[in-house]
Amino acid sequence: MTEADFLPKTYSGKIIHKKAGWRAPSNIALVKYWGKREPQLPMNPSISFTLDACATTTALTLEEKKSGERFSYEVIFEGTSSEAFRPKIQAFFERIGAYLPFLSEYHMVIETQNSFPHSSGIASSASGMAALALCLMDFERQLKPEMSDTYFYGKASYLARLGSGSACRSIRDSLVVWGNHKEIEGSSDFYGTAYPYDVHPVFKTYHDTILLVHKGQKQVSSTAGHGLMEGHPFAEQRFSQAGENLTRLQPILKEGNLREFMGIVESEALTLHAMMMTSTPYFLVMKPNTLAIINAIWEFRRETNAHVCFTLDAGANVHLLYPEDEKEGVYGFVKDTLLAYCEEGHHICDRVGLGAKKV
């Protein structure tokens, strides 16, 4: 599907049910996306595990329009009216207006909440924008009742991307690719797609324990960080590396080669932070305890041969990835050693999920 496919021509139905609700998960990238071009298109392909426990639940209600503004809406976050999200949501509606023209006819009430504390340092933009996009598609499906599931989820991913790039990987399936890659059939810059090749069963039940090293606001927003890849001295090498790592992952995912998997995942995490540290201006978001956790993981692995590795988003917190059949030993290590490096011992136990669910 292309951008033109998502522009509506005519509607044959009518919106009868004016409230929709979806629960959309966060995701954790294995091969990282860092650097974008307008409108919200990635400079390199990425692949992520969809999570299960870390999710945003959103209810969207359409009401009679109260103002002459093109987009009329209010945001209620965890029971309280919030203005903090308006700039991001306003930009989102401006981007998607041509794809959902009926929105200008209504006042929208957006009620949203996270399954994890807002101050936990887990990015909620991916899950939040994914849940909102799916609610919007519920309304368009009423206007276009012949809509297929393929179109519904494809357009939801397309719209979610326009709110937050990584949100397009939080719609459906367990292992999702975003960004055109010549060796992955169906991959696209415009929306996320299910990884289309064989995946060993070990990766379908993988665990992710998120170690909350720092729960404060990030030093640099992801949007600003992506922008710093423009003119970065190592940008082209990085974009090529990401594509190569995605190619290298294909036999690893098929065969269940955990040692090779860990090597790529950790290298990707450290490369992401290397890009931040060598941009202009440069910045460092890892904390001393981030490094302490990484070193402890490496030591634990040397001592036990456990198949546990780390990855990082654009922040200080550490995602600890490991297979289902090693969860008892690894979680014992978490409790005995790693929680001492977490802010107030806070952590989240998560695992690979299946995508968003209607509520």
Q: What is the mean pLDDT of residues 276-305?
A: 97
- Tell me which residue of 196, 207, 213, 161 sits closest to 33, measured CA to CA: 161
**What's the confidence (pLDDT) of residue 119?**
55
Residues 198 and 22: their CA atoms lie apart, in Å, by 29
pLDDT 10s digits, 67-109: 888 999 999 999 999 888 889 999 999 999 999 999 999 999 9
Count how many Cα atoms sit within 13 Å of the Cα of residue 307 in the half-sphere of its side chain: 16
The pair of three-digit structure tokens given for residue 269, joined into one six-digit string: 């995490």
Contact 96, 155 (CB under 8 A): no
CB 155 within 8 A of CB 137: yes
How far, in Å, CA of 163 to CA of 95, rounded?
Answer: 8
Residue 234 banded pLDDT, cuts 50, 70, 90? very high
How far, rounded to the nearest angstrom, does the alpha carbon of residue 137 sit from its chain's CA centroid?
19
C-alpha to C-alpha distance for 32 and 30, rounded to whole angstroms? 6
For the chain, where are the E strands, in sequence order?
A: 19-31, 36-37, 41-42, 46-64, 72-77, 80-81, 106-114, 175-178, 193-194, 207-211, 309-312, 318-322, 347-351, 357-358
Residue 227 has pLDDT above 60, yes or no: yes
Ordered strands of the 309-312 beta sheet? 309-312, 318-322, 207-211, 347-351
pLDDT the model gives residue 123: 62
CA 41 to each of CA 84, 101, 119, 280: distance values in angstroms, whole numbers, following the listed order: 25, 22, 28, 22
pLDDT per residue as tens digits for the range 109-152 = 999 999 987 655 566 899 999 999 999 999 999 999 999 999 99
User: What is the pLDDT, as a whole number, of residue 298?
Assistant: 98
Count CB atoms within 10 A of the CB of residue 340.
12
